């Protein structure tokens, strides 16, 4: 995107980029296993089917019938064993069992050590998101200085807008911290 030529465009761009960092963090958190079943847990699984690698979501429907159980309704009977093997070999610590064309995937409870590891991973994801937000803030401050230098906005407006950029940044960081606190609570819940 080209550099914003006025404050309104700049603010909208900063807000969009910071919201994007929050959304990315929430997607990363969705992939962290918390001991509870979530369909997103199986989405990255790749199945060897028809001579090529296919995402699991193209081989069957993922369901969550109960809190500690996932199911995959496989569409082609010939792929049941391949889906079962792909889930087992995905490194998720899951042990699927085929039942006709339905593959049941029980979610084992997490031990204390694994919960602590997941907390650290969640904290690392959150820190990466905070760095992204701070980079957006830095870009915004630089763009403000350029607008002032080019005479588009006055020095007083620059100071006022710098405070607004900081306010938007603080708001985004708070969203990230809230998401992290929620995820840590979810991870530690037995």
pLDDT 10s per residue in the chain (190 long)?
467 778 889 999 999 999 999 999 988 887 776 667 778 788 888 999 888 999 989 999 999 998 889 999 999 999 999 999 999 988 777 899 999 999 999 988 778 887 888 888 889 999 999 999 999 999 999 999 999 998 888 889 999 999 999 999 999 999 999 999 999 988 887 6
For residue 137, give the CATH number of its domain: 1.10.132.20
Q: Considering the entire predicted model, what is its pTM?
A: 0.67
Please tell me whether residue 109 adopts helix, strand or coil conformation.
coil
Predicted local confidence at residue 68, as pLDDT: 84
What is the predicted pLDDT for the residue at 107?
84
- For residue 76, being part of any structural domain is answered with yes
The answer to whether residues 96 and 88 touch, using CB atoms and an 8 Å cutoff, is yes
Output the pLDDT for position 131.
Answer: 96
Q: Which domain holds residue 165?
A: 7-31+111-188
Which of these, 176, 183, 163, 187, lies nearest to 114 by C-alpha position? Answer: 187
Number of Cβ within a 10 Å radius of residue 152: 16
The number of domains in the chain is 2
Same domain, 121 and 101: no
Supply the pLDDT for residue 61. 93
Q: What is the pLDDT of residue 7?
A: 85
Examine residue 73 and state whether it is found in any structural domain, yes or no.
yes
Identify whether residues 51 and 67 lie together within a single domain.
Answer: yes
Which residue has tokens 């914003």?
A: 4
24 and 71 together in one domain: no
Q: Would you state the pLDDT for residue 33?
A: 66
pLDDT at position 43, please? 82
């Amino acid at each position: 995107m080209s550099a914003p030529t006025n404050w309104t465009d700049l603010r909208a761009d900063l807000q969009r980029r910071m919201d994007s960092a929050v959304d990315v963090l929430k997607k990363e958190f969705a992939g962290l296993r918390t001991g509870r079943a979530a369909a997103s847990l199986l989405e990255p699984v790749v199945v060897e089917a028809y001579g090529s690698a296919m995402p699991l979501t193209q081989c069957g429907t993922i369901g969550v019938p109960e809190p500690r159980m996932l199911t995959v309704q496989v569409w082609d009977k010939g792929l049941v064993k391949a889906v079962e093997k792909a889930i087992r070999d995905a490194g998720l610590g899951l042990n699927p069992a085929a039942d006709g064309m339905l593959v049941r995937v029980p979610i084992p409870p997490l031990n204390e050590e694994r919960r602590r590891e997941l907390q650290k991973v969640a904290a690392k994801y959150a820190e990466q998101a905070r760095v992204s937000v701070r980079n957006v803030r830095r870009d915004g401050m630089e763009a403000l200085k350029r607008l002032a230098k080019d005479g588009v906005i006055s020095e007083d407006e620059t100071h006022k807008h710098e405070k607004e950029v900081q306010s938007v940044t603080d708001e985004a960081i708070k969203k990230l911290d809230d998401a992290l606190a929620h995820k840590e609570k979810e991870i530690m819940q037995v």
